[in-house]
Amino acid sequence: RSTVSQLFDEFRTTTPREEIVEIASRVASFERKQVKDVFDGDLSYDFNGEYVDFSELEVSVWNDPDAPARVDDYVFDPKHLHQALIALDDPLPDNVWLAGERGTGKTEFVAQLASRLGRRLFRINFDEAIERAEFIGGNTIESGNVVWKEGIVTQAIQYTGALVLFDEIGFARAQNLAVLHSICERSPHRSITISETGKRIPVADHVSFFVADNSLGYGDVSGNFAGVRDQNTAFIDRFGYTLRFEYLPFADEVSLVSKRTGLPVDASEVLIKFANVAREKAKAGVLTQPPSL
């Protein structure tokens, strides 16, 4: 303790207070709790005839005041939740690819996971026009001087325990995503080197990356998602877990519609029956767009 104190005193006398405050803000703390004390709803599922109950699994709960707001009626798929919690439970976590139709809850899954685990979420929405400078950073002019400004991804990877969501990544051009390969690699040396400054920025512990995509990274042949591109296989391989999202079970979707709108249950049932018929027609190619929740 005395050695640490001495080293810190030396650091404190040579380091500006603002920098110490910035460093302290990135030192996160967490506590271990059982899943049943953090998540509501069903915490079990059947897998190939085997009953899986993960309610007593221990997870790290962070206390970040900037974690997303909680949506109490969000319904987690137990299997997806279990796999995501396993992927996150390591200082060097696995990354997770979320695939499925629009409106199946991919983006909200990550937000509510972050909310209940008390972790900060950084979300980047991609489109075909997005450039490296917009999410990594680039040079800008300030007071007549050229300075380099961090983008949201560069900020996120320095924040211990952050969840980083690449949303609608299928619309981005693969060459613009090449810069993400080094930070998404599951390696203790994962980092990014800023070409403009030569500075190497390592990815902090417990930072995990999620992708929300309408496909599995291999484009779209149905015609429902115009503009969705194939992604580089090397990038896809950096995501150790793939979760396939479907629409909610009938009863859950009826209950959610009824709760959020005040519509009677029998009327909500009619709506969801209609939606499911339309979704089947879309799968068959008769309709171009299935109705989302």
Q: In sequence order, which residues have a C-beta less than 8 Å from that of residue 57 and are 6 or more positions away?
A: 34, 35, 82, 85
Range with lowest mean pLDDT among 130-139, 177-186, 252-261? 130-139
Range with lowest mean pLDDT among 128-137, 178-187, 204-213? 128-137
**Which tens digits make up the pLDDT trace of 19-63?**
887 777 666 678 999 999 999 989 999 999 999 999 999 999 998
Q: Is residue 216 over pLDDT 70?
A: no
Q: pLDDT value at position 221?
A: 47
Q: In sequence order, which residues have a C-beta less than 8 Å from that of residue 62 and are 6 or more positions away?
A: 28, 29, 30, 117, 118, 119, 161
Q: How many of the other CB atoms lie within 10 Å of CB of 93?
A: 21
Higher pLDDT residue, 231 or 161? 161
> If you average pLDDT over residues 138-160, what whole number do you get?
86
Q: Please give the backbone phi and psi of residue 241, each rounded to the nearest 5 degrees, phi first.
A: -120, 135
Joined together, the tokens standing for residue 64 give: 């970040």
Q: pLDDT value at position 129?
A: 72
Q: Please give the backbone phi and psi of residue 6, each rounded to the nearest 5 degrees, phi first.
A: -65, -45
Q: pLDDT value at position 231?
A: 63
Q: pLDDT value at position 150?
A: 87
